[in-house]
Structure formats: structure tokens, C-alpha cells
């Protein structure tokens, strides 16, 4: 063998070794690429699963809110109608109150009118009660700003401080929610500082 042949063999061997190394490197890169691509796909899958779970939770929340809105709409649909009827109840009550002192002087006629108005008022309040409308007459109860509107404060030594002494106008509740607050006069504590009671 000549020196040129030996060199050619060495060069060919070197080329084969280089090709084998290059092929091995390409395989390593391909496997690494597959692993990193697999990790990326797993992360993407996890992200999509999280999004689907969030969307499902959001849909449940929307459904619950819609059900509550419908329930409230059914429960309080009569609120405007009830507000329009309250002056009728007030007028009937005033009519009964106005005949209190005149029963003796006018006799039987005023007594029969009063009885008729009382029956009409009780029928009217009974009808309101069927639709869960309750009357607030808080005389003697502690003042509650959620259900009462204070018209004034008066000294009342025989009443608890901050309790309702008199009701100017009765309040009403519809399914436990205030339709109209009761307008009340509140007892003032004896040692309370002097303030302007008329608002």
C-alpha cells in the first residue's frame, strides 16, 4: 500500500466517523426536540383544561345569578303595585280614626259608617297579606333605621330611649323587604344633648 492509499483510507475512516457523529448528534437533537415538543404540548393541554374548567365554573355562576334574578323578579314583581295601593290603606285608616270621637254625638249613622270602613280596611289588609305584604306598626319597639324613618325626637320619661313613641304613618314590607318605611316619633334620652330634632 502506498502512502496515498493509506491517506485515502484514513480520510475515508475519518469521514465515516464524522458522519456517524453527525448522525448521532442529529438523533440526539431530534429526541431532545421531541421531548421539548412533548413538554410544550403537555403545557398547552393543561392550559386548555384550565380554561375549560374556568368556563364551566363561569357558566354555573351565570346560571345561579339568573335563577336568583328570576326568583327576585317573581318575589318583588308586585312592589310598584303595592306602593300604589298603600295610600288607599292610609285613607281607610284615617277614616276610621276620624270617626273615633264622633260616635256618641252623631249616633247610629257614624257608627255604621265606621263599622263599614273598618270591615273594608280589614278586607283590604287581608288581601294584601295574601301577597306577603305586612304592615309595620312599631309602637314601643326600638328604632330601626332599616325599617323606620324618624320624623322627630321627643322627651318621653315613661319610654325607653330610642324607642318608637308614636307612628305618624305605618310602614309596609313585601316578602320581608321594605316597600315603605314607617314614619315614627322616637323617644329621646333625658340626658341627650340639645339638638335640632326637626329634620
pTM equals: 0.60
Residue 129 in this model has a pLDDT that exceeds 90: yes
pLDDT in tens, 33-45: 667 888 889 999 9
Same domain membership, residue 70 and residue 25: yes
33 or 121, greater pLDDT: 121
Same domain membership, residue 154 and residue 120: no
120 or 76, greater pLDDT: 120
pLDDT grade for 170, boundaries at 50, 70 and 90: very high
Rounded to an integer, the average pLDDT of 77-106 is: 83
The verdict on residue 116 lying in a domain is yes
Residue 159, all three cell numbers: 319610654
The verdict on residue 89 lying in a domain is yes
Same domain membership, residue 40 and residue 85: no
Residue 62, all three cell numbers: 351565570
Give the pLDDT score at 193. Answer: 55
Mean residue pLDDT of the chain comes to 84
Sign of CA dihedral 6, 12, 13, 14: positive
195 or 161, greater pLDDT: 161
Same domain membership, residue 187 and residue 147: yes
The verdict on residue 198 lying in a domain is no
Same domain membership, residue 59 and residue 5: yes
Whole domain around residue 4: which residue ranges? 1-76
pLDDT grade for 12, boundaries at 50, 70 and 90: confident
Residue 135 in this model has a pLDDT that exceeds 70: yes
Same domain membership, residue 136 and residue 124: no
Give the chain's domain count: 3
1 or 115, greater pLDDT: 115
CATH number assigned to the domain comprising residue 159 = 2.30.22.10
Same domain membership, residue 70 and residue 82: no
The verdict on residue 199 lying in a domain is no
Same domain membership, residue 83 and residue 41: no
Residue 84, all three cell numbers: 300604589
Residue 105 in this model has a pLDDT that exceeds 60: no
Same domain membership, residue 2 and residue 71: yes
Same domain membership, residue 152 and residue 181: yes
110 or 149, greater pLDDT: 149
Give the pLDDT score at 98. Answer: 85
Same domain membership, residue 177 and residue 139: yes
In this structure, how many other beta carbons lie within 10 angstroms of the beta carbon of residue 147? Answer: 17
The verdict on residue 197 lying in a domain is no
Same domain membership, residue 94 and residue 65: no
The verdict on residue 196 lying in a domain is no
The three-class DSSP label of residue 28 is helix
Residue 194 in this model has a pLDDT that exceeds 80: no
Strand order in the sheet with 164-169: 148-155, 182-188, 164-169
Residue 149 in this model has a pLDDT that exceeds 80: yes
Domain termination residue (choose one: 130, 151, 169): 130
Contact (Cβ atoms closer than 8 angstroms) between residue 117 and residue 88: no
pLDDT grade for 159, boundaries at 50, 70 and 90: confident
pLDDT grade for 16, boundaries at 50, 70 and 90: confident
Amino acid at each position: 500500500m502506498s502512502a496515498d492509499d493509506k491517506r485515502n483510507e484514513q480520510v475515508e475512516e475519518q469521514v465515516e466517523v464524522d458522519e456517524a457523529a453527525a448522525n448521532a448528534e442529529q438523533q440526539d437533537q431530534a429526541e431532545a426536540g421531541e421531548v421539548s415538543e412533548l413538554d410544550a404540548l403537555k403545557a398547552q393541554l393543561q392550559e386548555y383544561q384550565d380554561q375549560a374548567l374556568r368556563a364551566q365554573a363561569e357558566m354555573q355562576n351565570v346560571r345561579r345569578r339568573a335563577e336568583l334574578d328570576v326568583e327576585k323578579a317573581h318575589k318583588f314583581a308586585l312592589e310598584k303595585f303595592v306602593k300604589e295601593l298603600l295610600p288607599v290603606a292610609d285613607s281607610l285608616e284615617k277614616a276610621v280614626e276620624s270617626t273615633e270621637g264622633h260616635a256618641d254625638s252623631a249616633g247610629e249613622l257614624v257608627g255604621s259608617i265606621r263599622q263599614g270602613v273598618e270591615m273594608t280596611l280589614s278586607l283590604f289588609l287581608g288581601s294584601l297579606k295574601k301577597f306577603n305584604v305586612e304592615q309595620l306598626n312599631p309602637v314601643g319597639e326600638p328604632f330601626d333605621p332599616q325599617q323606620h324613618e324618624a320624623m322627630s325626637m321627643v322627651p318621653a320619661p315613661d319610654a325607653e330611649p330610642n324607642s318608637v313613641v308614636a307612628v305618624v304613618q305605618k310602614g309596609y314590607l313585601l316578602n320581608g323587604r321594605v316597600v315603605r318605611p314607617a314614619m315614627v316619633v322616637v323617644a329621646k334620652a333625658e340626658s341627650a344633648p340639645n339638638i335640632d330634632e326637626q329634620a
